[in-house]
Structure 1
């Protein structure tokens, strides 16, 4: 506070020292008034102390913190026009009734073939509707025993179908 004489009152023990801030929250300049740069984070150095050293308030930053933009270009997420990886192949549709069956085929016709080969003790694998390696081997063995050469080996074609259906029932 200022007394009637225009001098600023100092707390006990600080006589002769320049206060670091005034009532405005700014550091006083050489004339005792707050410095304008102190309010924006500038230097708060006051006039020299009686011994000639400068008094500085180290709790106030000397310059405002400025955030620079990120070093890389900004990226905007937009829908991709580039197609992604192709979808996995869909399973083959079930083989039509009376069609040639081969490895990779699925469906009730494949299951019926397995049941027919099981009836004549030529297949003892799983009874799922998938034409796999075990079924291919069983068909090839059947073709060899029956001397069927007009169908590809391991493929349940028209000649193999006629012979097996004549021996079995499903």
Structure 2
């Protein structure tokens, strides 16, 4: 580590340089010449008609709507009788599912119904990732857990409820 005298001389030199720069008179010059950083966007004169956008930067068309609050987002759309789905997940790994009681939830206002492994028709699959049409390769993750939550699947899906 440098000694005290060396550090003191560095601080003194920096202070003297600052004082020297502050005492110099300011030049009347173009501020663009003093900036060492060049802009990354190049504006060129264009001789074609106003309808040709080639070579000219264009403003974003939706910016005005964002700033005035007129922009419409998917979450703002109101669709009549639109349902939303959410999964009920297991809180334990390697747990047995004895019964799924949906009677209390079905009494809630706006709940349409539940889908579980029992609703998959005969010949259907609970592992859609293992189908040959899966472009990402084989995936053995089931949609719903059956009678037992697997050891490695904490937060596995048990049922999906649909509500307004």
- The answer to whether TM tops 0.5 is no
Shorter-chain TM-score tier: under 0.3
Decide which structure has greater strand share.
2
Please tell me whether Structure 1 or Structure 2 has the larger radius of gyration of its CA atoms. 1
Report 1 or 2 for greater relative contact order, CA contacts < 8 Å, sequence distance ≥ 6: 2
